[in-house]
Each structure stands twice: as structure tokens, then as C-alpha cells.
Chains A and B, each alone.
Chain A
């Protein structure tokens, strides 16, 4: 006889499952579990907004409270995706406003959000609590005003590096006086000055405020006013960290920092002036996260600062830190897990700072927990990469950007195949890898052979032939996202590994050698993929079939072809001839 738990019991058990993977697994057990699970799933994550439609999601999961979604391909961050590409969130908001009246959280990344969307959100969801817009665009500060004014229980408003049309700072004043629910506010990407007194009052009346990231327009001498009203802050992003050097400002600032005993994360620090750095020394021992990537301070001051932070787990910094500063980091910060070094002068022909591969090697030696690296530099050697690989087999994310495309090992002038090969061989848990420098097909052979846990790979100006791409597509079992630019990869590898593409979220290829004919073939053979050709030169069928396309974006989908494409994108499918509008 079949026996099973009553539905309520199963639902209760399922409520302990948080990860999508677990919930998806549970849904596959049997039909009744599928049914029970779908009615109690509260959080959904959609990695590609075009992989599914709002209707399909709503039909399957009728009681969602939190939705997270991503839109444009990652290379949109570097202007490789043309304006008007898509990722409009409006259809989703519109559908959810009807289907999910109890929706509490919306988190979007690289999507186009309009003021209309924001207004609709603010009016449709009575329990709305969390809005996170990461690298989004399309809205103005008027949209923010709607959110501030209408969301009674707003807990989190995080604009993380979005491009907002800044009409004025008035939006902040729309938070009603009775709003006391804020836990997190990140307005660091905004340009305009907000009313400081409104900000002061808002901060003062929200006792649960844990994260406050100000924008550059908030002057340094006013920072103590805010800190004194929010000594419970855990994450602080300062405004501009520069002012005329005055003893009273310094002592106020110093005193204000000393009251913030819970502070774990510090960011902002625009235009940081060395004179004011000591004011924050009192919080340094407690810091686990420090973002100095907007601070143009030089190596000696940076070294001194990081030496005060022995509990640092995450450091983002400009290359002003130089090798000497990284040495200080390696000595002082034994808990360091993540390091990102950004270039201060990426377009200069000559190096402006003394930051080389040595800095990274030193940190890899001194910081046993280092697992996540983003490093911009101007020279690299196989020897350095081999050493880093040996030191840090626990590396999970390794993104190296050697500024000059196709730069060889500066010592031997050989390709950097061996070095990156050592990385993938040694770092068995590597999930994300970005390559740069001079690389042949050989590095892809190493990657295909060893990088079995690799989920995301970024390639630029690398490889010799289709064999390179073939190694990656046939060897990397866990690959989900592949983005390629300016590589000599063409039709053969793509067509030979067509089935692989259905196991991935997406593939981006731009300035490669994939022909229009191959795209059409792929689109026809793989109905569950959207094969989208992006070409600003005009319709690809006006050119010979062997002509390579400018850009190609391929992703698996159950939504069918897009219906909101601009006139420079064409979907390859059975009706390839009919689609051009």
C-alpha cells in the first residue's frame, strides 16, 4: 500500500529547503511532490529573463514572495551589448502585480527598469520590502520617489551601480515621517545632493538601519551627524572623503567612528585625503570588508590603512596599492578571502604605478584563505601563475586582466598557456575564470581537461582555431556561462557541440568567426535554443552566408523567440526568412 505524509507535513519539511537546486530535485520525485512544492515555493531566481515567460512562471509557482532576475549578458558592462538590446522588466512587473499581490522582494540585475515599473511596484504590492537594482538603467529619481512615498514597510533600497537619471535629490524627502522600517539604503550611484536634513531624520528614525551607503555629494563634515544617529551600522559607504584639513572636522569624524562598534564593512571614500584616514582607525580592527576602489590614495597610506585591518576578508582597491602595499596586506590580513585590484589608468600606454605580478604572488603566499581574485596588471609570467596555483589550490574565482591584449609572458615571451594550465590543474574547485594575455589553443585543452567544476569562463583575444572552443565545450562539464570576444572561433566547434549549449545558461560570442549560415543551421536544429544574431550593419541575409556575424547570443529557453527585439537582432529558427521586420 502506498503511504505518505499528509500534505501539510510535506510542506513543512519543504519549507526548510532554501536552495533552488534542492527544490527542483524535490519536484522531480513524483507528481504529488511536484504539486506540493510548487504551491509553497516562495523564492524564484531567473538567471536569464528570456529563458522563460511571466505566464509560465506564474502558472507553476502561484505563491511567490521574492523574485530575483538577471537580464543583459555580462559583457553589457563593457559596452559590448548595443543600446536597446532588451531586458525590459515591465512585462514581469505587470504580470506579477496581478498574480503576486503579496510579493515582498524584487532583485534585478542588468535590466531596464522604468519609472512606470517603479510606480507600479510601489502601488501593487502592499507588503513590499526589498528592492535591489544592480547595474540597472532606465529610471529616474522620480521613480525612486514613488518607492519612497508608497512602500510603507520598505526595508531595503539598494541601487548598486545602476545608471539613474538624476533629476534631483528630492526623492529622499518622499520617505514619510512615519517610515521607520529601513534596514538598508544604498544610494551611492546617485549624483545629486539629497536634502541632508531629510537624510538625517530618516537615519535617525530607523533603529534597524544596518547598511547605509551614501553618495559622493554628502560632504565629509556632515558624516558624523549621520553616524551619531546610527551607531548600530554594520555597513557604511561614506560620501566624499575629502575636505579642507581642519582639526575640528577631524576630531568630530574620529569620535563618530569610534562610536560605531558594529561596523564590519566600509566603502565610498571618494577623493580620500590621507589627512582624514586616521579618523577611521578605530573601526579598522573590526572591518571584514573594505572597498577602497574609489579612493585615489597612494601606496604608503594604503599600506598603513590595511595594516590596521587584521580581520579583513575582502579588499577592493585601486592599483595605487602597488606591490609594496600588497606585501603589507599579505603580512597583516591572514583572513583575506577576496582581493580585487582595479586599474587607475587603464588607457595609459605606460604603467603609472609599480604594480606587477609580484603583488599577486605575495598575497597568494601570505593569505591562506584567498579564494577569489580580480586583478588588473600590465605584466604576467607563467612562473608567477604556476606559483599562485601551487600556493592556492583553494581558489574558486580567478579573473586576471593583463591590460595589453595578447601580452605574452614578459620574461620568456611565450604564451601564458602553462600558467593558466597550472591554475586549472591545481585549483580543482575553480568555478569562475577570466583569461587574458597571449594564449593558444593549448590553454583551452588544459581547461577542457581539468576545469571540471568551472561554471563561468570569459575569453578575449585568445586561441588559434576552433579546436580551442571545442576543448572548452566538450570538456567543461559544469559550464553554464561562456563569453567570448575577438577570438578565431568559428562554425565547426559550435555546430559539433550544439547539444552542449542546451546544458548551459548562455553563450556570447562577439567579433569571432561564426558565419551567418552556421547560425541559421544551429537555430534550425536546436528548437530549445534561441540563437540571436546581433548585427548593426543591417540584415545578415543581405550578406553572403559565410560572412561572420558581429555578435551572437545563444541561450536555452522555454519561452520561444523574443517578441521585443530591436531591429538589429535576428532570431535564427525554422522561420528564419520570415522574422525580419
Chain B
């Protein structure tokens, strides 16, 4: 009986069904799709506490995070837990475990009249860091392309950093997380002095 009605009724757009409990005022899904990810959070009446906690803490963090993070929908994007926990940039982990104070280090460039300071936490990877450095020094330093064999090729500027042991290291050799945890200050070296730090160079200092 009821099945027949449904078979004939498939073209009816005006569905009686709404998501959420009756008596509430949520828009039905038949409304034209113009939602952003945040409205997905609003429209889906998911009562799972995991979801609410996640979205709440995202909203709190959003003000303080420099690279902004949007509200998370459960299970989206569809990335498996193992990848999430072990490989990926995890904004939540970063911002909840460390303070909001940033990781400011001095940056000196050979030939520049004064030093600068940057927040290493603002960057996600070496690519962003080098881009930031270039912009900061008004493109006066032309840092070449990094390769493991030759260091920074194609330029006379080489980014280096002082690590926890007080040694001057070439930027780019170690994984990003290891780098930001051990970098005390940055120095953009220039000219002949820079050559000595390249891998395979005669004055190998590691």
C-alpha cells in the first residue's frame, strides 16, 4: 500500500522530511545548494559529542592560528586515522599542545643593516619558510633551489641555522618538525663563506 504511493511520488520535490527533530526550524535539504563547509556543520543534526567538541575547539583556535583551519566535519576529508596521526600536518595537535606564543627566532642576512625576527610556527614547511624569507628581505636575497647534493644551487645566498648544539647547519636537510624544534636562529649566508657548508664541498663541516 504505502509502497505504491512512494513509487508514483518520486518526482515530488516537496518532501515532508526534514533533517532534525520535528518542530525545529532547520532548512530542508531541498533548498538550493549554496552551503559552505560550515553550514554542513550546522545543518547536520549530529549529536555525537565528538563532532561538537571538535567544531567548538576549532572555532576557539581559529582566532589564534595564523594559517586558519576550518571547522571539521566528522570523517571528512576521508583520510584514515593512521595517516592523520602519523604523517599529516595536524593543526589541532599543534595548537593544543603548544602555547600561542609562537616560536620567534632572529634572522640575519649578510650585508643587511639590521636583523629581523620570524615566527617559525607560522610556516608549515621549508617551501613556505624560504618564500617568507625572500619576501621579508624584499627579494634582495636570491636563495637558490635546494638539493641534497649541492645545497642551494643557482645563487650566492644560502640559508643556514644555528641548532641546539651551537652548530651552523644548512636549512633543509632534516624533517621540518625536527628543524623547528632545534633551530635557535637563522642566518642567510652570502658569498664564498656559504660554499663551505654544501654537501660534498671540500670544507665539509657537519
Contacts and interface: CB of A to CB of B under 8 A. Distances in A.
A and B form one complex: yes
Given A465-B15, A495-B2, A511-B46, A405 B145 contact: no
B42 interface: no
Interface in B103-130: 124-128
B175 A271 contact: yes
Interface stretch (B3-11, B132-140, B154-162, B186-194): B3-11
A294 B6 contact: no
B74 interface: yes
Interface of A is mostly: loop
Given A348-B91, A548-B19, A161 B67 contact: no
A318 B84 CA distance: 12
Interface string B67-91: 1111011111111111110111111
Contacts of B76: 78, 405, 460
A488 B19 CA distance: 9
B30 A465 contact: yes
B128 A352 contact: yes
Contacts of B73: 405
A493 B17 CA distance: 13
Contacts of B128: 352
Question: Size range of the interface on A?
Answer: 35 or more
B10 A278 contact: no
Interface in B137-184: 145-149, 172-176, 178
A23 B119 CA distance: 65
A89 interface: no
Contacts of A79: 50, 74-75, 81
A214 to B, nearest CB: 14
Contacts of A492: 6-7, 9-10, 15
A508 B76 CA distance: 16
A461 B126 contact: no
Given A245-B206, A464-B30, A536-B48, A278 B19 contact: no
A487 to B, nearest CB: 8
B98 interface: no
B11 A467 contact: yes
A315 to B, nearest CB: 16
A308 B189 CA distance: 33
Given A492-B9, A547-B22, 14 more contacts: A246-B206, A273-B175, A300-B146, A347-B90, A348-B67, A349-B67, A401-B78, A470-B10, A491-B17, A492-B10, A496-B6, A513-B18, A544-B22, A546-B17
Interface of B: 2-3, 6-7, 9-11, 13, 15-22, 28-30, 33, 35-37, 40, 44, 46-48, 50, 67-70, 72-84, 86-92, 124-128, 145-149, 172-176, 178, 199, 206
8 contacts: A246-B206, A274-B146, A343-B77, A490-B17, A498-B3, A513-B18, A515-B17, A544-B22
